[in-house]
Amino acid sequence: SGSYDNTIRLWDIATGQELLRLVRHIHDVNSVVFSPDGTQLASGSDDHTIRLWDLITGEELRRFDRHVRDVNSVVFSLDGTHLASGSDDGTIRLWDIASGREIDLLDHGYPVYSIAISGNGRFIASAGATAFRLWNATATALETVPLSDLEIPPTFTHYPNPAGAFTTVEYALSKVSQVQISIHDLLGREMVTVLDATQPPGSHSLQLATGHLSGGIYFVRLITDDKQVTRPLIVR
């Protein structure tokens, strides 16, 4: 896991024990990814760097530092010989792991939030604030799709859960939509409607008062023009 405390931590899934802590980044760690063979890890950070780590020793093997803004996404090639990184500086950079050399620069044009390499290694996808781009191995942009043209289902989460007096609901919309958020009991009966309004695309959040509810299990439901999502809510 990568954290706003600048650290990377490796955990034993079975026991929950912390196995290794990596502490060379000096700002938030936004992305971590294992190498295909599982022996190395790459991380991207708000300190503008990508770092390569040995997971056996915890040693920092290499640092890649050509980005000039936050690094949001890092991914290995399938053969483990190259890295790709996406940054708020609007670029995707390709790196040779053995030499540490930057071997290609792709101009997305806007901050890059996420990147992926296709299974055959021939294509790179990048997603940013305004568009999704698909690139081929020769660093040519094959297609640009405005995010407004993509059918993206609304994201929807709430925390803390279990809730005490309040829980915060966060969700994102891909387009203008009528939004209704309500709380239901175990039988599906609506207890309260907390929002019923038209909202613009983007990220939204609101705080739900749950202190008046008896302790137990409920459901929070988000309904938009074309989607419905329900999440369990535990009230203490």
> What is the CATH number for 168?
2.60.40.3080
Which among 110, 126, 147 is the end of a domain? 147
Lowest-confidence segment of 56-60, 62-66, 224-228 by average pLDDT: 224-228
Q: What is the mean pLDDT of residues 181-196?
A: 90
pTM of the model: 0.61
* Total of domains in the chain: 2
Q: Which two tokens stand for residue 235?
A: 């009230």
Q: How many CB atoms lie within 10 A of CB 161?
A: 15
**Are residues 130 and 176 both part of a single domain?**
no
| Residue 77 included in any domain | yes
Last residue of a domain, one of 96, 118, 147: 147
pLDDT at 155 over 50: yes
Residues 219 and 165 in one domain: yes
Q: How many residues does the chain have?
A: 236
Are residue 138 and residue 23 in the same domain, yes or no?
Answer: yes
pLDDT at 152: 47
pLDDT at 146: 55
- Are residues 17 and 91 both part of a single domain? yes
Q: Rounded CA gap, 224 and 198, in Å? A: 9
Strand partners, 156: 171
Residues 19, 132 within the same domain? yes
In angstroms, the Cα distances linking 140 to 90, 125, 168, 170, 173 are: 16, 11, 42, 36, 30
24 & 130 share domain: yes
- Cα separation, 65 vs 153, whole angstroms: 35
Contact between 147 and 174 (Cβ < 8 Å):
yes
Residue 2 in any domain: the answer is: no
Domain hosting 177: range is: 155-235
Enumerate helices (H) and strands (E) in the chain, giving the number of each.
0, 21
Over residues 8-32, the mean pLDDT reads 95
Confidence band for 14, pLDDT divided at 50, 70 and 90: very high
**Domain shared by 130 and 162, yes or no:** no
Q: Is residue 34 domain-shared with residue 140, that is, in the same domain?
A: yes
The reply to whether 222 and 108 lie within a common domain is no
Please give the residue that has the higher pLDDT: either 52 or 228.
Answer: 52
**What's residue 28's pLDDT?**
96
Domain boundary among 147, 170, 202: 147
Same domain, 127 and 32: yes
